[in-house]
């Protein structure tokens, strides 16, 4: 009987484990407090930066592992798996330039990768070979140098240190799509056998992200990496562009798109928390207050139905208006009481933030929208309501 109940619990947990296992977050080198928020989200994966120029500095053989020891142990304690990206050359290993410069001796890079994987082999099994080497701000070398000095020696080091570990790459940016195609094609043709899981970044509106992945990247994946998984290891949207509601709507749409595409194994949103820089990508503010996108992502991970906001009326009347309160009651008491009504509500939640962004930026459109909503609220249906 005990065995029977154990099996029942395990089968009940499978959907939750599978769902959480698909979702990840980028958190650079996360602290214990960061993991508290990851636990609240329910993510199954965290992407951690292993910056060679920080860890082995200021000279060769001088290592500082303290922050990474904490991060990987916290991840393990909370059941969150680690995707570790190793990047960037310390000053002692390069011939001038910045940390985006190729190392003079690839053996120095290979030694560092071997040390990382050996040290954390119990906690981390997935190792990325550099970050966005097709962008000069992250890699000033050529595609040939990336393959010869980073990917091949790094992959050999990973497999030597831990034969059970996986090598991930080439971790390209999708910013310059033509160059991305060329860079990816070259890397996979020359050294695709060294990569176990293909990783790619894609930002922008969901329609643009999935056009790139479906119509441009997937054919390359099928040509050069048949049978290998694809992980979308960076995507996201800035809340300082159109606001937190718009950011949350984009997150929901990207999550839905990932769920609909079997060829995308995992997704990592960039990033957990904002920094001091003006671009606000985080699910949390700089002082760690959750944004609407945090709740949107949490609900997706836990497969909870999204109730949503009245984006357009909020943009037209403000958040404390009687009109907005009347529309909320219409949603809760009428739309959400039937399947067709819920379908209409879901369609609105998908399009509402985009329309609200247009309305809020144009006085004439806002005036016309206000008039139309007030006409709607004047219908007999609302005669016992606030209008």
pLDDT, one tens digit per residue, over 281-330 is 999 999 999 999 999 999 999 988 765 666 677 677 765 677 777 776 77
Q: Which two tokens stand for residue 20?
A: 């959480």
Q: What does the pLDDT read at residue 316? A: 74
At 50, give phi and psi (nearest 5°).
-110, 90
CA distance 194 to 248: 37
- DSSP designation for 306: P
Give the 3-state DSSP-derived string for 269-296, with helices as H, strands as E and coil as C: EECCECCCCCCCCCCECCCCCECHHHHH
Give me the architecture of the 20-301 domain, per CATH: Alpha-Beta Barrel (3.20)
Q: What does the pLDDT read at residue 11? A: 36
Q: What does the pLDDT read at residue 311? A: 67
Residues of the chain with pLDDT below 70 are 1-20, 306-311, 314, 318-320, 328, 332, 336, 342, 345-346, 349-350, 353-354, 360, 381-387
**pLDDT of 117-145, one tens digit each?**
999 999 999 999 999 999 999 999 999 99
CA distance 387 to 383: 7
pTM (2 decimals)? 0.79
Question: Taking the domains of the chain in order of start, what are their residue ranges?
Answer: 20-301, 311-382
Report yes or no: 71 and 30 within 8 Å, Cβ to Cβ. Answer: yes
Q: What does the pLDDT read at residue 340? A: 82
Q: What does the pLDDT read at residue 363? A: 81
Beta bridge pairs of residue 270: 26
Report yes or no: 141 and 102 within 8 Å, Cβ to Cβ. Answer: yes
Strand-strand pairing, 264-270 and 230-235: parallel
Q: What does the pLDDT read at residue 365? A: 85
């Amino acid at each position: 009987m005990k065995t029977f109940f154990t099996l029942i619990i395990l089968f009940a947990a499978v959907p939750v484990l599978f769902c959480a296992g698909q979702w990840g977050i980028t958190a650079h080198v996360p602290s214990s407090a960061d993991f508290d928020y990851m636990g609240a989200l329910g993510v199954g994966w965290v992407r951690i930066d292993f910056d060679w120029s920080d860890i082995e500095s200021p000279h060769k053989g001088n290592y500082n592992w303290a922050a990474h020891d904490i991060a990987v142990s916290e991840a393990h304690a909370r059941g969150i798996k680690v995707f570790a990206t190793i990047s960037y050359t310390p000053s002692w290993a390069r011939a001038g330039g910045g940390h985006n410069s190729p190392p003079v001796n690839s053996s120095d890079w290979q030694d560092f990768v071997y040390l990382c994987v050996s040290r954390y082999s119990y906690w981390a099994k997935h190792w990325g070979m550099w970050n966005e080497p097709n962008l000069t701000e992250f890699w000033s070398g050529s595609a040939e140098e990336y393959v010869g000095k980073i990917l091949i020696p790094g992959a050999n080091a990973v497999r030597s240190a831990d034969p059970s570990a996986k090598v991930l790459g080439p971790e390209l940016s999708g910013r310059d799509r033509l160059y991305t195609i060329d860079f990816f094609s070259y890397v996979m043709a020359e050294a695709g056998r060294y990569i176990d899981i293909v990783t790619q970044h894609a930002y922008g509106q969901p329609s643009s992200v999935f056009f790139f992945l479906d119509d441009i990247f997937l054919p390359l994946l099928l040509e050069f990496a048949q049978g290998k998984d694809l992980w979308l290891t960076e995507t996201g949207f800035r809340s300082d562009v159109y606001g937190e509601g718009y950011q949350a709507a984009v997150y929901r749409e990207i999550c839905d798109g990932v769920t609909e595409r079997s060829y995308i194994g995992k997704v990592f949103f960039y990033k957990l928390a904002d920094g001091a820089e003006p671009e606000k990508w985080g699910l949390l503010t700089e002082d760690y207050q959750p944004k609407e996108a945090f709740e949107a992502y949490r609900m997706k991970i836990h497969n909870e139905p999204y109730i949503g906001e009245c984006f357009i009326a909020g943009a037209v009347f403000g958040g404390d208006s009687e009109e907005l309160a009347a529309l909320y009651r219409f949603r809760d008491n009428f739309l959400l009481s039937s399947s067709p009504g819920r379908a209409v509500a879901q369609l609105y939640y998908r399009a509402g933030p985009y329309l609200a962004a247009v309305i809020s930026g144009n006085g004439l459109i806002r005036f016309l929208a206000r008039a139309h909503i007030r006409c709607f609220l004047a219908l007999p249906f609302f005669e016992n309501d606030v209008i």
